[in-house]
A = this chain, B = another copy of it.
Amino acid sequence: MNVVSYRPRPEELSYTFGGRPAVGRITPGTVLEIYTEDCFGGRVRGPEDLPSQVCEFPYLNPVTGPFHVEGAEPGDTIALHFVSIEPARDWAVSTTFPHFGALTTTHTTAMLHPPLDEVVWMYDVDVEKGVVRYHARRGDFSVEMPLDPMHGTVGVAPAAFESRMTITPDAHGGNMDTPELRAGVTLYLGVNVEGGLFSVGDGHCRQGHGEVCGTAVEAAMNTVVAVELVKGVATPWPRLEDDDHLMATGSARPLEDAYRISQHDLVTWTASLTGLDTLDAYQLVSQGGEAPVGNVVDTNYTMVAKLPKAYLGRPEAYESAHARLRSLGERYLSSR
């Protein structure tokens, strides 16, 4: 088993997809162990650390990478199977941020209101017990919620010579902020440039649907990813697969366009996997599909379209990359 470990030094962190040389080269079939910093670069460590003061634009939402996948060319697909995602600290943090979030005016939903208060919430992270603990800032209310680690930001270098802030989700992946991107899931990303150049960041201990206040329970993570390359198979928008579901994503504004992209991709993917007529697939997805909301706060919004594989007779997608990577991940975990 080929295992590679990488822990970025602070100055090695990336703030874009595209526009940067690779920090390492990965052979398909490799298990990659990485450390990812939280979206604040680890600088918000207590209630007094207001992100607008301790963080400096554009040094936000750092990602670990990019990694060059040997042999990856435009038209191929990189498969990233998340073997494990483990909080690196016993605390995590969430905040409001001036003019960021779904229930506040923003840079583009521009209004004449002053910003909402900037507030920091510190969470206890208890991996043993499998919970995070929320504490109200005013009053002594406190409650535990299940730990459900995920990565908000995973992507490759975009097409068309673009370089995009890590905060933006689009066809190349990026800051999709979907809770579906948890351990056990394989993410498929279409390759736009030689080597693909994928990066991973923005770990969340858990996240509500839409990330309504603008940030999740943000945490540094120790993450293990099993990497494969599917040659000659293109992927128009990021897709996910777990043991029981196929998932398509869409990232755009307004939110209905994110929904349309994800549902359109799920419908046409379903048709191509099963041989169903497009309208028959449209009907089946209409009645059997779910639509978990990703984010409604970033520069593009993200929706996921999700269908049980059982409804389709468990078709093989991406030459069974998910099954193979899952098995590789299990071998890795049992050898650890």
Q: In the complex the two chains form, is A160's CB within 8 Å of B111's CB?
A: no
- Chain A 41-64 near chain B by CB (<8 Å), digits 1 or 0: 000000000000000011000000
- Chain A 118-139 near chain B by CB (<8 Å), digits 1 or 0: 0101000000000010101111
Contact of A111 among B215, B260, B311 (CB under 8 A): B260
Q: In the complex the two chains form, is B256's CB within 8 Å of A296's CB?
A: yes
A35 contacts B by Cβ under 8 Å = no
Q: In the complex the two chains form, is A283's CB within 8 Å of B119's CB?
A: yes
Taking Cβ atoms with an 8 Å cutoff, the residues of A that contact B are: 15-16, 18-19, 57-58, 94, 96, 102-105, 107-114, 116-117, 119, 121, 132, 134, 136-139, 141, 143, 145, 159-165, 206-217, 250, 252-257, 259-261, 263-265, 267, 274-280, 282-293, 296, 301, 303, 311-313
Contacts of A286 in B (CB 8 A): 94, 207-208, 211-216
Contacts of A290 in B (CB 8 A): 208-209
Q: In the complex the two chains form, is A264's CB within 8 Å of B18's CB?
A: no
Docked CA distance A119–B278 (Å): 12
Would you give the shortest CB distance from A294 to chain B, in whole angstroms? 10
Q: In the complex the two chains form, is A212's CB within 8 Å of B116's CB?
A: no
Q: Given A105-B113, A121-B283, A19 and B261 touching (CB < 8 A)?
A: no
Question: Closest 8 interchain pairs by CB?
Answer: A209-B291, A58-B160, A254-B254, A255-B255, A110-B264, A213-B286, A163-B163, A208-B289
Docked CA distance A136–B276 (Å): 8
Q: In the complex the two chains form, is B212's CB within 8 Å of A276's CB?
A: no
Q: Which of A109, A274, A284, A290 has the most CB of B within 10 A?
A: A109
Would you give the shortest CB distance from A106 to chain B, in whole angstroms? 9
Would you give the shortest CB distance from A167 to chain B, in whole angstroms? 9
Contacts of A164 in B (CB 8 A): 162, 164
Contacts of A134 in B (CB 8 A): 283-284, 287-288
Q: In the complex the two chains form, is B206's CB within 8 Å of A287's CB?
A: yes
Additional A-B contact list (10), CB under 8 Å, known A94-B287, A107-B261, A161-B165: A58-B160, A96-B282, A111-B260, A112-B282, A141-B280, A160-B165, A161-B163, A212-B289, A255-B256, A255-B259
Q: In the complex the two chains form, is A274's CB within 8 Å of B141's CB?
A: yes
